[in-house]
């Protein structure tokens, strides 16, 4: 009986340890590197949280319609090494984002680089692409 309880405890422990791994995804699972996207618009929100920071951009189309984009950035430690700060993007900032579009074709993307309101172009800490911003 003790052996069965020990095996059950070990199995449950392994399953519990695997749950965080399931929550994290690879770049290739969600984004398509062959579908590059460049958008220019107004930041509406910045979420500085783990496992990836996110920000939202409203883009005014030629017909006047507003398209809402959701971009994933890299992990917070990677962003900090790239010169990002929690307040690098603020609601109302005008930005240009280069990245890869979601495989499902939605207005979701993985940012590769972001041209900030002050004109600086910063690497977005993404796991996709070539790892360096376009200058």
Residues linked to residue 113 through DSSP beta bridges, in sequence order: 98, 123
Count CA within 13 A, CB hemisphere, residue 43: 21
Residue 23 and residue 95: Cα distance in Å, rounded? 29
Full-model pTM: 0.73
The confidence score (pLDDT) of residue 68 equals: 98
Q: Under a CB-based contact definition with an 8 Å cutoff, are residues 74 and 81 in contact? A: no
Residue 42 and residue 106: Cα distance in Å, rounded? 18
- Residue ranges of alpha helices (H) inside 1-135 are 2-23, 27-30, 76-81
The confidence score (pLDDT) of residue 49 equals: 87
The confidence score (pLDDT) of residue 134 equals: 37
Residue 51 and residue 48: Cα distance in Å, rounded? 9
The confidence score (pLDDT) of residue 50 equals: 83
Count CA within 13 A, CB hemisphere, residue 116: 13
Regions in the chain scoring below 70 on pLDDT: 1-29, 127-135
Q: What is the DSSP letter of 87?
A: T
Q: Under a CB-based contact definition with an 8 Å cutoff, are residues 90 and 46 in contact? A: yes
The confidence score (pLDDT) of residue 133 equals: 39
The confidence score (pLDDT) of residue 56 equals: 97
The confidence score (pLDDT) of residue 67 equals: 96
Q: Under a CB-based contact definition with an 8 Å cutoff, are residues 45 and 68 in contact? A: no
């Amino acid at each position: 009986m003790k052996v069965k309880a020990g095996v059950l405890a070990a199995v449950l422990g392994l399953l519990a340890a695997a749950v965080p791994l399931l929550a994290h995804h690879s770049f290739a699972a969600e984004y398509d590197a062959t579908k590059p996207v460049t958008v220019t618009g107004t930041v509406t929100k910045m979420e500085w949280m783990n496992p990836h920071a996110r920000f939202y951009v409203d883009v005014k189309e030629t017909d006047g319609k507003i398209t809402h984009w959701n971009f994933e950035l890299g992990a917070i430690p990677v962003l900090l090494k790239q010169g990002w700060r929690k307040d690098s993007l603020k609601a109302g900032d005008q930005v240009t984002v280069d990245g890869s579009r979601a495989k499902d074709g939605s207005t979701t993307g993985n940012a590769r680089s972001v041209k900030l309101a002050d004109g600086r172009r910063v690497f977005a800490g993404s796991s996709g692409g070539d790892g360096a911003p376009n200058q």
